[in-house]
Amino acid sequence: MTDINLLPWRERFHQKAKKQWLIGLSVVLILSLFVLVATCMVLNAKIHKTIQMNKRLNDPLKDVSGQLQHIKMIEYKKMEVAVKAEVFLTLQQERLTTMTVLSELVNRMPSRMYLTVLRKQDRQWRLEGVSESFLQVSAFVQQLAGISEVKDPKWLKVDASDLKKNDGQHHFIITF
């Protein structure tokens, strides 16, 4: 069966509408493409600007980071120097204390009493010696208590076992 168009104006209207629709679609596609390209260009420009700003900010940060590491190294060296100075001052103070104690020992040692061992280990002093009597040892311990650097002198031992030899000497051990 053949298709007969009774209204030719309808076909022309459909053709014209179809043509206008295609033109409108083309315009919309072209405008969309233009907007898309423009948006990409704007975003790329912003990205490029952000990258440049980051680069401009990171360069000084690298310098600051290097300076911070230098400061940390200086602080570490300062701490090492402080520790060494503290050790030096401690040794100097102990040297002064040792010299004072030795000087006082010499000045306060009774006659006819002598030391056989004088030992200092850490902060503990140990004196071993010989005296003629217990009273000399007692007087010596009391005199040691008068020295400011001597803390709590104690007798550990007084031994009169050598009296059998008739030398009359008493061996003693004092710690402080």
Residue 166's pLDDT band, with cuts at 50, 70 and 90, is very low
Q: Which region among 67-81, 114-128, 146-160 has the lowest average model confidence (pLDDT)?
A: 146-160
Does position 52 have pLDDT exceeding 50, yes or no? yes
> Per-residue pLDDT averaged across 98-119, rounded?
84
CA distances (Å), origin 149, targets 10, 47, 145: 126, 75, 9
Domain residue extents for the chain:
9-108, 111-175
